[in-house]
């Protein structure tokens, strides 16, 4: 049984458009006296990636359309925010109780298309990265080149779950790590052959990192050490279930 350790990385400053996330992380690691090792996982909250990539919108610059205005009135939401939600969606799955569930352009089914007003200046909202897997690859390449270590990167956001209250952090982008850890074909302690067991290891790592960083601490990065995973570049987008197999759509 391997030991898994999670280190919250303090000292990341306010991130602005064009910021070099990899440099900020390495600088913060150095100040904390931490050195990355091979097979470490750097977990990064989506919000700072979106800020660095300019995915921040001033709400006063948004002009709501008729559909956004109608849906906003129904759900008691800001019409400007709803316009952004619709702009990031390929379709609305369901709306109710003040929440708009959409399928995003990135392929995720989530609340409000991932559009968020938390941890950003008043009057602004952030959007998900256009391609969080590509973002993870870029950041990982820089981290590996500059540290000389073979590490993985996971970018996370907070999602709800069907049939369960509350939210948890999940991976929306990853690089250097297979999203699933397959146990299919292996036998449990009673000799039963596992047929469908595939832990979403990137989501498990995302949740573990969130336990250490929290929501209100302004610590957007964590280092996870000792997690068992396979190398790969399928990306977190591969976790999205095909429409014909999704029982909740």
- Could you tell me if 56 and 50 are in contact, meaning their C-beta atoms sit under 8 angstroms apart? yes
Chain segment 211-235, per-residue pLDDT in tens: 999 877 789 999 999 999 999 999 9
Same fold, 5-55+129-243 and 57-125: no
Q: Which residue matches tokens 């995003």? A: 104
Structure confidence at residue 85 (pLDDT): 97
Structure confidence at residue 186 (pLDDT): 61
- Residue 201, SS3 per DSSP: helix
Q: Which residue matches tokens 């610059």? A: 61
The first and second tokens of residue 221, run together, are: 């990065």
Distance CA 60, CA 106 (A): 25
CB < 8 Å & 24+ apart, contacts of 116-120 = 116/47, 117/81, 118/47, 119/47, 119/218, 120/47, 120/51, 120/56
The dotted CATH code for 5-55+129-243 is 3.30.1330.100
Whole-model pTM: value is: 0.92
Domain ranges of the chain: 5-55+129-243, 57-125
Residue ranges of the chain whose pLDDT lies below 50: none
Structure confidence at residue 226 (pLDDT): 96
52: part of which helix (H) or strand (E)?
Answer: helix 46-52
Structure confidence at residue 183 (pLDDT): 59
- Report the candidate in 236, 247, 167, 240 with the shortest Cα–Cα distance to residue 207: 167
Structure confidence at residue 217 (pLDDT): 79
CB < 8 Å & 24+ apart, contacts of 160-165 = 160/110, 160/111, 162/248
DSSP code for 177: S
β-pair partners for 100: 95
Pairing of strands 124-126, 56-58: antiparallel
The dotted CATH code for 57-125 is 3.90.1660.10
């Amino acid at each position: 049984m391997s030991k898994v350790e999670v280190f919250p990385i303090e000292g990341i400053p306010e991130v602005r458009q064009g910021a070099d996330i990899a440099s900020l992380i390495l600088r913060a690691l150095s100040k904390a006296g931490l050195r990355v090792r091979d097979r470490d996982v750097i977990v990064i909250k989506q919000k700072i990636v979106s800020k660095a990539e300019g995915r921040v919108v001033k709400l006063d610059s948004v002009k709501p359309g008729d559909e956004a205005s109608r849906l906003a009135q129904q759900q008691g939401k800001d019409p400007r925010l709803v316009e952004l939600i619709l702009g990031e969606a390929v379709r609305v799955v369901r709306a109710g109780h003040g929440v708009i569930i959409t399928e995003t352009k990135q392929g995720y089914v989530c609340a409000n298309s991932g559009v968020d007003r938390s941890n950003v200046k008043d009057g602004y909202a952030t959007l998900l990265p256009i391609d969080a897997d590509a973002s993870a690859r870029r950041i990982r390449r820089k981290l590996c080149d500059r540290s000389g270590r073979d590490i993985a990167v996971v970018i996370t956001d907070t999602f709800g779950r069907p049939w369960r209250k509350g939210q948890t952090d999940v991976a929306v982008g990853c690089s250097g790590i297979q999203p699933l850890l397959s146990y299919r074909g292996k036998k449990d302690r009673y000799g039963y052959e596992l047929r469908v067991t595939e832990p979403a290891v990137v989501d498990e790592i995302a949740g573990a990192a969130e336990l250490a960083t929290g929501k209100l601490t302004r610590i957007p990065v964590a280092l996870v050490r000792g997690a068992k995973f396979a190398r790969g570049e399928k990306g977190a987008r591969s976790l999205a279930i095909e429409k014909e197999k999704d029982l909740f759509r």
